[in-house]
Structure 1
Amino acid sequence: MSKSTLIEDMEKVLLNSWSINSSSKWTKVNPVRGQCGVTALVVNDVLGGEIKKTMLSEGWHFYNEISGKRYDFTASQFNEDIEYMDIPSNREEAFLDTNQKQYDYLKQSVKNHL
Structure 2
Amino acid sequence: MLGDHLQIEHVHQLLKKSWSSESSTKWSQDNPARGQCGVTALVVQDLLGGEIKKTLLLDGWHFYNIIDGKRYDFTASQFNNEIEYSDIHSDRDEAFSDTNEKQYNYLKLSVYRYLYK
Question: How would you bin the TM-score normalised by the shorter chain?
Answer: over 0.9
Tell me the matched-pair count. 114
Deviations for 1:29-73, whole angstroms, at most 9, x for unmatched residues? 000000000000000000000000000000000000000000000
* Mapped partners of 1:78, 1:65: distance in 2: 19
Matched residue SS, 2:7: helix
One-letter amino acid of the counterpart of residue 107, structure 1: K
What is the RMSD computed on CA atoms of the aligned residues? 1.2
Identity of aligned residues (%): 65
**Which residue does the alignment assign to 1:78?**
79
**Which residue does the alignment assign to 1:101?**
102
Deviation of 1:5 after TM superposition, in Å, equals 3.6
**Which residue does the alignment assign to 1:20?**
21
* Mapped partners of 2:58, 2:3: distance in 1: 36
Deviation of 1:2 after TM superposition, in Å, equals 5.7
Which segments of 5 or more consecutive residues in structure 1 lack a partner in the other structure? none
Matched residue SS, 1:29: coil
> What TM-score, normalized by structure 1, do the two folds share?
0.96
**Which residue does the alignment assign to 2:4?**
3
* Mapped partners of 2:103, 2:66: distance in 1: 22
